[in-house]
Structure 1
């Protein structure tokens, strides 16, 4: 029996050329979906699993540069996008995160299950929304190993907006317009959702509708990871 809020997408394994037999899954969703909180909860319940993200909490020793680059993108590149930095420069810097995640998948012990935050799917979608509709990098990224399944966390516009306001100020890759206003934030989130789901259309996807609390969402995610 499926947990409340869970809707399954295509069944079976991906037939993409980059398919991997490693127990590798992706947790996907828009900004404010609570992926990091859910990953921390899942990690506490599945100690034998590895969690992977470009967030500092999951980067791991020896990869501090990845976190430093992520912070520089937010603090330096995005505020000066279109003046000091071009969108092509932004995509080039973001590719470091994509390649890091790919490297970790390829080095992963086949006996250790892996849950990854977003993979290249979200970065590619954001690059497209920034105005880079086509880029040779995209073809390369799409050739990377594909997960056994994607778990997509849906979130309401109200919740996403509230969570963003509670954290750091939204960056220009989280909304349309010159300022982070509700209409531009909601419109961007819808566009981002569409492109991310487009990227994973050939991979088994489970959509998890917004549930109250991190624990309930983690329950739904665990049902997919450990059926």
Structure 2
């Protein structure tokens, strides 16, 4: 998103990643950090999966709010929207939840660009599991087979969620710069 933001003048990019959250919405970045550092390690213990999902809902609603408050004539690129969070909640054991129907009622994108990265590459990029959180692998510890299985299921659920939308798949690229270029090519088409 950083590379795309810098190279797409006139486009608005939305994400819940800290560096892409506007100053007036820093709460979103703090909540994300707190979820990763404080809540995820305690899911199944101090916190329920439902509690986790309710916190993740803040990110989903924040992105929806930003989409709705953007000039409809302005081009907009949104990182994951609610699709990835919904898929991760389902993989965490919340197959159905009343908020899913609400999320699915949010304004839909005109198109989806799916960046397809192999589990092997994602594992390597995560420092062989060292930088993973509990919503990126099965089990309590990041191990290769639990990560690979989770990532394959995450891909399946995300594609299931966007099946009614026009989806362009971008295969794995050798660098961030090449990935950003591939996305720009799709956006220009």
Show structure 2 runs of 5+ residues with no match.
Answer: none
In the alignment, the residues of structure 1 paired with residue 31 and residue 5 of structure 2 have an alpha-carbon distance, to the nearest angstrom, of: 25
TM-score by length of 2: 0.96
Show structure 1 runs of 5+ residues with no match.
Answer: 1-38
* Cα displacement string for residues 65-119 of structure 1 (whole angstroms, at most 9, x for unaligned residues): 1111101100100011111100000010000000000000000012321111100
Aligned residues: 189
In the alignment, the residues of structure 2 paired with residue 167 and residue 183 of structure 1 have an alpha-carbon distance, to the nearest angstrom, of: 11
Higher helix share: 2
Q: Does 1:150 align with 2:112?
A: yes
Give the corresponding residue for 1:181: 143
Residue 178 of structure 1: CA displacement? 2.5
In the alignment, the residues of structure 2 paired with residue 117 and residue 168 of structure 1 have an alpha-carbon distance, to the nearest angstrom, of: 23
- Indicate the SS of the match to 1:51: strand
Higher RCO (C-alpha 8 Å, min separation 6): 1
Give the corresponding residue for 2:152: 190
* Cα displacement string for residues 125-181 of structure 1 (whole angstroms, at most 9, x for unaligned residues): 000000000100000000000001110011122210011117962111111122100
TM-score by length of 1: 0.81
From 37, 41, 44, the counterpart of 2:6: 44
In the alignment, the residues of structure 1 paired with residue 12 and residue 176 of structure 2 have an alpha-carbon distance, to the nearest angstrom, of: 19
1:70-219 matches, within 5 Å, as: 70-165=32-127, 169-219=131-181
Residue 214 of structure 1: CA displacement? 1.4
Any runs of at least 4 consecutive aligned residues in structure 1 with deviations exceeding 4 A, and if so which?
Answer: none
Say if 1:78 and 1:217 are closer, same or farther in 2 by CA, change over 3 A.
same
In the alignment, the residues of structure 1 paired with residue 19 and residue 120 of structure 2 have an alpha-carbon distance, to the nearest angstrom, of: 26
RMSD: 1.3
In the alignment, the residues of structure 2 paired with residue 199 and residue 141 of structure 1 have an alpha-carbon distance, to the nearest angstrom, of: 11
